[in-house]
Amino acid sequence: MNASLLAAQLLNGLAYGMLLFMIAAGLSIIYGFMNIVNLAHGTFFMLAAYAAYSLAGMKVNFWLAIPVAIVLIMIFSIAVEKLLLSFVYGKEHEQVLLTFGLLIIFADMVKWIWGASPRSLPIPPSLDFSITMGILDFPVYRLFVIAVGILVAVALWYFENRTRIGAIIRAGVDDRQMVSALGIHVGIVFTGVFAFGAGLAALSGILGGAILGVYPGMDTETLILSLVVIVIGGLGTWKGAFSGALLVGLLETMGQIWFPSLSMVLIFLCMTVILLVKPTGLFGKKVST
C-alpha cells in the first residue's frame, strides 16, 4: 500500500462525502427543525441533476446552470411545501404517504421525459483536467467538489452560529412553540428552511451529476444514504451532517476496494449501533416533538 494510493482513496472518499454532506445537511435541517418525514428529499437531488443535464444540452454555461437549476428546484420545493406539505404538519402517516406519492410520481416522470438510460453531466471545460500526484493523475473536478463542500460547511457554521435566522432555527429545533410565542412568523421561516434544504440537495445533485451520473433511481439511493448520514452524525446541526457524511463517504469508497463484501453491512451496522447507544447521533441535538 503506497502513499499515492492512500491519498487518492482519501480524496475519492472525501469528494463523495462532500456530496453526501450537502444533501444530508438539507435533510437534517428539514427533519430536525420541521420534523417532517420527507421521502421526496432525494427527488430534489435528482430533479436538479436532470435540470442541469437539460441545461447542459442547451449549451448553457456550467457556472450559470448551477444557480439556475438550484433556483428552479427551490421554487418547486416551495410549491410542494405551500400546496401540499403545509397541510400535514404533525401527521406522520400522511407525510409518509404524501411524500412517497411525490417520490414515485417524479421517479417515473423523469423516466418519461428523459428516458430510462443513465446519463452523465459533462465536466465543465475549465475543470476538466487532472493534476499529477505521485504516480497517478487525479481529476481536478473532484478537488473542486471537496472545496465547495468545505465552503458550504463554513457557510452553514456561520449561518447557524452567527446570524439571527440561525438562532431562530436553533431555537426552533429546541422548542418550536416558544419561538412562535416570541412572535416570529414560523410559517415563513418553515417555507424558507424547506426551500433552503431543497437547495442544498439541488447543489449536491448538480455537482454530483458529473461524478455519479444522472439516472432513474438516484433519488432513492441517495435518500437512504442521507438518512444513514444524519442518523450517525446527528440532527439539527451542520456538524452532524458533516461528520456523518465523511464517515459514510470514506467507508463506502475505501470499502469498495478493501472490504467490498462488508462495506454495506458495516454502514448499516454502524447506524444500528448508534441508534441503540446514542440515538441522537455523534453530534445531534434532541429532536423537538
- Segment 87 to 126, residues that bind other proteins, using CB under 8 A: 87-94, 96-98, 100-105, 107-109, 111-113, 115-120, 123
**Applying CB under 8 A, what is the total number of residues that bind other proteins?**
86
Residues 173-202 that bind other proteins (CB under 8 A): 176, 180, 186
CB of 285 to other proteins, least distance (A): 13
DSSP state letters, 215-274 = -TTHHHHHHHHHHHHHHHH-SSSHHHHHHHHHHHHHHHHHHHHH-TTTHHHHHHHHHHHH
Q: Is the dihedral angle over the CA atoms 19, 50, 125, 70 positive or is it negative?
A: negative
Distance CA 257, CA 20 (A): 20
Among 171, 211, 282, 285, binds other proteins (CB under 8 A): 211
From the number of C-beta atoms within 10 Å of its C-beta (0-12, 13-18, 19+), residue 63 rates as: exposed
Residue 122 phi, psi (nearest 5):
-75, 145
Residue 75 contacts other proteins per CB under 8 A: no
Which is nearer to other proteins, 9 or 159 (by Cβ)? 9
Which is nearer to other proteins, 203 or 230 (by Cβ)? 230
Which is nearer to other proteins, 26 or 216 (by Cβ)? 216
- Kindly state the helix (H) or strand (E) to which residue 67 belongs, with its residue range: helix 62-83
CB of 262 to other proteins, least distance (A): 7
Q: How many CB atoms are closer than 10 A to CB 241?
A: 35
Binding range to other proteins, per CB under 8 A, among 61-69, 128-136, 154-162, 163-171:
128-136
Residues 130-149 that bind other proteins (CB under 8 A): 130, 132, 135-139, 141-142
Residues 270-289 that bind other proteins (CB under 8 A): 271-272, 275-276, 279, 287, 289
Which is nearer to other proteins, 163 or 272 (by Cβ)? 272
Among 27, 55, 153, 228, binds other proteins (CB under 8 A): 228
Binding mask 25-64 for other proteins (x = CB under 8 A): ------------x-x-------------------------
Residues 239-268 that bind other proteins (CB under 8 A): 253-254, 256-257, 260-262, 264-265, 267-268
The widest CA-to-CA distance across the chain, in whole angstroms, is 61
| Lookup: cell for 75 | 421554487
Distance CA 126, CA 41 (A): 30
User: Which residues, 6 or more positions from 146, have their beta carbon under 8 angstroms from its beta carbon?
Assistant: 11, 14, 15, 18
Which is nearer to other proteins, 88 or 165 (by Cβ)? 88
